[in-house]
Amino acid sequence: MPELPEVETVARGVDARLRGDRIEAVWFSGKKEPFKSPARTMAEVLPGKRVKRVFRVGKHIVFDLVPTERAPSLKQQAVQWTVHLGMSGRLLVASPSDPIPAHTHAILRMRSKRELRFVDPRRFGRLALHAASSGEGGGFAGKGREPLTISTNEFAALFHGARTSIKAALLDQSRLQGVGNIYADESLFRAGIRPRSRAASLSRKRMDRLCRCLKDVLGEAISLGGSSVSDYVDADGARGFFQFEHKVYQRTKLPCLVCGTLIRRVVVAGRGTHYCPHCQS
């Protein structure tokens, strides 16, 4: 599933290929509006815009788009376009001659003749337009803090007074944004913390450890192009390699790679949750 490392990988890939390119035309499938912004509005605003850069915020891929001189006067403002991949979304940079996959919901035809395609079988993904804010560093920021750059103090403060489980708290995008089921389970394993532990009950020492383990696992996953556990691929259609590094995620009833105890699966916060009963206390 696309979580922070997968979204980062896709954003980097799209940025490398489309930065400086210009959107010539757009197409949207008429399918039951899988978009946050109306397709009609996007079809009006996107064409003529130049891709200034593409980056990641939480699990969102953000496009900074600026008008080109050819744009009609009405559309002279810079905008941000965000793509959320949901569960099954893909964002692919393809050639027009490449076959169009099933469940393709949006195509942006670029001046370079390449196409940016949004493919999403389950339609949990979302596309949205945002007004680019005038201030420096403004614009789309998401609701939570970025796990890669947060300080240990701020990290610990996020969970102060939280009565819920640490697993649910890690998944809460209004606290931290970008962590999903895989990296919640993997970071808790590395930190030696049971997923059902009350978040606020964890010692500062364990919180600091969790913060470091989370950053480590996210960083390592990014360097391996993310985890391809179902059908995740990057902007080139290539799979990631971090799924081979998973210690607990989807290893139910397999021996723990550290101590040999069988990995247990329970449901926490409505999600399949995997942990080692011996290593995580």
Partner DNA sequence: AATGAAACCTGACAGC
Partner DNA sequence: TGCTGTCAGGTTTCAT
Alpha helices by DSSP H, the chain: 4-18, 39-45, 152-158, 166-171, 181-191, 204-223
Of 3, 6, 115, 186, the active-site residue reads 3
Which of 220, 231 has the CB closer to DNA?
231
Q: Which 22-81 residues touch DNA, going by CB under 7 A?
A: 32, 58-59
Residue number with CB closer to DNA (171 or 210): 171
12 binds DNA (CB under 7 A): no
Task: Please say whether the beta carbons of 254 and 263 come within 8 A.
Answer: yes
Is 3 one of the catalytic residues? yes
Q: Other C-beta atoms within 10 Å of 7: how many?
A: 26
Smallest gap from Cβ 183 to DNA, in A, equals 9
Catalytic residue flag (residue 198): no
- Active-site choice (59, 145, 194, 251): 59
Site map (CB under 7 A) of DNA, residues 227-266, x = contact: -----------------------x--------------x-
Contact call for residues 248 and 189 (beta carbons, < 8 A)? yes
- Distance (Å, whole) CA 198 – CA 202: 7
Output DSSP code: residue 33: -
8 labelled catalytic:
no
Cβ at position 146, least distance to DNA in Å = 13
Stretch that binds DNA, among 16-24, 178-186, 217-225, 232-240 (CB under 7 A): 178-186
CB under 8 Å to 245, separation ≥6 — which residues? 220, 221, 224
- Cβ neighbors of 71 (< 8 A, separation 6 or more) are 48, 49
Known catalytic residues are: 2-3, 59, 271
